[in-house]
A and B are shown apart, each in its own frame.
Chain A
């Protein structure tokens, strides 16, 4: 016996619980319930319930499990008038979702009752194509991509670590990329600093980085800081950035950056390399330690030669710079577990990773509670010199 539309609708109504827009709003305010907007993308772009997830009805079977793996979690579907959402809810029920309701009257009723709604940031059709592989991932999606486009990442150094980081941050659509570097491209850089090019030897690294970034992705606003990071300018240089990737070559710069970033609460993704090996972590106290907790004082220069003295296998900063970028993107999207409190050691010859636990030093002059209080009171605690000053005796670290 073929069923008419009226039969199907009646059947759906008998199987699915309906909630009115005011009831739905109360449920929404309590949290814990996922609102699924099943309208077409063009309707969603005109406005939707705050916090709702968009899966148009034609994709509901394919996409709901990715968006909502827990079949017992409460779901409210809605559309424009309350019919498509009823059928979508029926599909969810058939798929084993146990707590599904549909909002009667749909988004039209919701709006006419003066309930809150928002207009999503819309990606242009070119952006949708460019970032389509991100948009397909539920953890990124349009919302995550919009977040990346609105984010600001600062690269300290456009060198071995900064080069791969700049390329992949740009490709990912991180909207603002700041580059701090005062150097010019040298032929010996090109063995690993892949953001530069042979015909740019002698050019400023910042300008060269901008050319490559914008050739890859014109969406990115590249901010050039052609200066050396110092105690005097660090506050101005890092101001307004959401995440910092530390790819510098000296201890002075690393300590200067650490102290300033901790003070304003910007996470620093840290990496360093030596020949075949690399170290990587995230400094984001109070989640995990800061650089001074890990290395209270710098080593004598002969124990920590830079790449220009000791050499480095070009691919090692490539790998470490990309792992930095991975951490930075996770931080910007607020997904996954960051490396805060963990140090990753990479050995290219063994192809091995070793993970060490890092702890906060309760007596740290920069990130401890006491240090924070002193800074707030306007009298920051003194810090050890960031250059080597003879031998240090292990002090009374708690």
Chain B
């Protein structure tokens, strides 16, 4: 299982929790598992075509998956997946 950190702005769509444990061999599988458990997250993370929205960044530990293998980036046990949407508040 890896830990997925839910950003504050998406927590209400994920049952109010800060992080969830999800199994999966790749980032894509983990996010699939996440949106299966919390369907309200799907439209916020993915476009109709199923691609990750550009205004959301996903990191495995401290690395941006766009510069790894995107959805196919392998995920190890105990990796942390961080979902990082842009925030504007000042």
- Cβ A297 vs Cβ B54 within 8 A: yes
Residues of A within 8 A of B53 (CB): 299, 391-392, 394
- Cβ A304 vs Cβ B62 within 8 A: no
Residues of B within 8 A of A251 (CB): 86, 88
Residues of B within 8 A of A276 (CB): 8
Counting CB contacts under 8 A, is A81 at the interface? no
Residues of A within 8 A of B22 (CB): none
Counting CB contacts under 8 A, is B26 at the interface? no
Residue total for A at the interface (Cβ-Cβ under 8 A): 50
Closest to B55 in A: A299
Residues of B within 8 A of A272 (CB): 86-90
- Cβ A247 vs Cβ B90 within 8 A: yes
- Cβ A249 vs Cβ B87 within 8 A: no
- Cβ B90 vs Cβ A159 within 8 A: yes
Closest to A248 in B: B90
Residues of B within 8 A of A304 (CB): 9, 85-88
Counting CB contacts under 8 A, is B36 at the interface? no
- Cβ B82 vs Cβ A391 within 8 A: no
A192 to B13, CA, bound (A): 28
A249 to B49, CA, bound (A): 31
Q: Min CB distance, B25 to chain A, in Å?
A: 21
Residues of B within 8 A of A393 (CB): 47, 49, 51, 54
Residues of B within 8 A of A111 (CB): none
- Cβ A355 vs Cβ B90 within 8 A: no
| Partner of A312 from B55, B82, B84, B89 at Cβ < 8 Å | B89
The residue in B9, B53, B87, B90 that gathers the most chain A C-beta atoms within 10 A of its C-beta is B90
Q: List 17 A-B contacts (CB under 8 A).
A: A249-B88, A272-B89, A273-B89, A274-B8, A274-B89, A277-B8, A295-B54, A298-B86, A299-B86, A303-B9, A304-B85, A304-B88, A305-B9, A355-B62, A359-B67, A391-B47, A394-B53
Measured CB to CB, the residues of B under 8 A from A are 7-10, 44, 47-49, 51-57, 59, 62-64, 66-67, 70, 82, 84-90
Measured CB to CB, the residues of A under 8 A from B are 157, 159-162, 246-251, 254, 271-277, 279, 294-300, 303-307, 310, 312, 317, 343, 345, 354-359, 388, 391-395, 397
